[in-house]
Amino acid sequence: MKILIFTKKETQFIKKRLVDEARERNHQITLASYEELRFRIGDKFGIFTSDQELGDDYDAVILRIAPSGVMVYYKDLLARSLGQKNFVVNGESFVKWPYLGKITQNFLLAQAGLPIIQSQIFARRKELLASDFEFPLVAKKHFGKLGNSVFKAQSKSELAEILGGQTPEFLIQPFLATGEDYRVIVLGGKALPKVMKKVAPEGQLATNISRGGIAVAEEISDELKALSENAAEVFKVDYAGIDIMYDTNGKPHILEINRSANFSGFEDATGINVAKLTIEMIEKKVNG
């Protein structure tokens, strides 16, 4: 197969893992970065990088995470144009939701009857700060990654400081004391047989491995399998990392769906070769 992979210019680990596994299976790989893209839009559509024109004769396309801002629209153009003739991993989802932040995710999950943490959103800072909340609470930015957009507020003054002077783009949620959650990876509609249990460092809220979280592997439960596969179906994804937490009453809550999830920590914790399984999933999609 001929596989085209787009990544951010500085991305290394995931790109290398996917390329190594694809080449191990004798696939031809073309690498491109979002930062070097140029498009021709008119009678004849064209996609260019700094040194070549990219045709449409690929069997599959992998669109890893794009830099923020206008690059997300470039990714949308790639999904729409290349998806006409090629299999694009998560192509249907990227076209339907070029931006998929936490507010949209929570709304769609709730509409599908899947468990989330009850949330409130406000259009204006004034109304948000005038509301009565039970503290502590959690404020999550609509967009963010690696746990850097999740804040715990102990009081109204702390909440005001978190918001700053900006128009609020936060979900306001009750604080659920648990300190651990589970990362499930879904490929081709099926959850992998092990999950990565993530435990937050003492005194911290985020369980992200990049911020010091501790990861251990567990066999996936029937409940985690069903919840993650149902969430993947809602967002029409071929590949996703899905985070699920349990509160102290044992009730699950889906926290987030990441369509470009980093799998390095998952591979280390579980021993599952996610890169190889991703290439195998693509082979099945292309070859039927």
Q: What is the CATH number of the domain that holds 52?
A: 3.40.50.20
- 167 and 183, same structural domain? no
Residue 67 lies in a domain: yes
- 51 and 189, same structural domain? no
- 141 and 110, same structural domain? no
CATH number of the structural domain spanning residue 201? 3.30.470.20
pLDDT reported for residue 214:
82
pLDDT reported for residue 64:
94
- 164 and 196, same structural domain? no
- 254 and 137, same structural domain? no
pLDDT reported for residue 12:
80
Give per-residue pLDDT as tens, 130-157.
999 999 999 998 877 656 788 999 999 9
Residue 288 lies in a domain: no
- 146 and 86, same structural domain? no
Residue 45 lies in a domain: yes
Count of domains for the chain: 3
**CA–CA separation, 103 and 256 (whole Å):** 10
Contact 94, 72 (CB under 8 A): no
pLDDT reported for residue 92:
98
- 111 and 92, same structural domain? no
Q: Print the SS3 string covering 105-166.
A: HHHHHHHCCCCCCCCECCCCHHHHHHCCCCCCEEEEECCCCCCCCEEEECCHHHHHHHHCCC
Residue 86 lies in a domain: yes
Residue 37 lies in a domain: yes
- 238 and 106, same structural domain? yes
- 12 and 89, same structural domain? yes
Residue 285 lies in a domain: no
Residue 120 lies in a domain: no
Backbone angles phi, psi at 239, to 5 degrees: -140, 135
- 239 and 208, same structural domain? yes
- 111 and 247, same structural domain? yes
Q: Which of 150, 174, 198 is the last residue of a domain?
A: 174
Q: Print the SS3 string covering the chain.
A: CEEEEEECCCCCHHHHHHHHHHHHCCCEEEEEEHHHCEEECCCCCEEECCCCEECCCCCEEEECCCCCCHHHHHHHHHHHHHCCCCEECCHHHHHHCCCCCHHHHHHHHHHCCCCCCCCECCCCHHHHHHCCCCCCEEEEECCCCCCCCEEEECCHHHHHHHHCCCCCCEEEEECCCCCEEEEEEEECCEECCEEEEEECCCCCCCCCHHHCCEEEEEECCHHHHHHHHHHHHHCCCCEEEEEEEECCCCCEEEEEEECCCCCHHHHHHHCCCHHHHHHHHHHHHHHC
For the chain, residues with pLDDT lower than 70 are: 10-11, 145-147, 167, 179, 200-213
Q: Which domain holds residue 198?
A: 102-115+178-273
pLDDT reported for residue 205:
54
Whole-prediction pTM: 0.91
- 231 and 143, same structural domain? no
Residue 279 lies in a domain: no
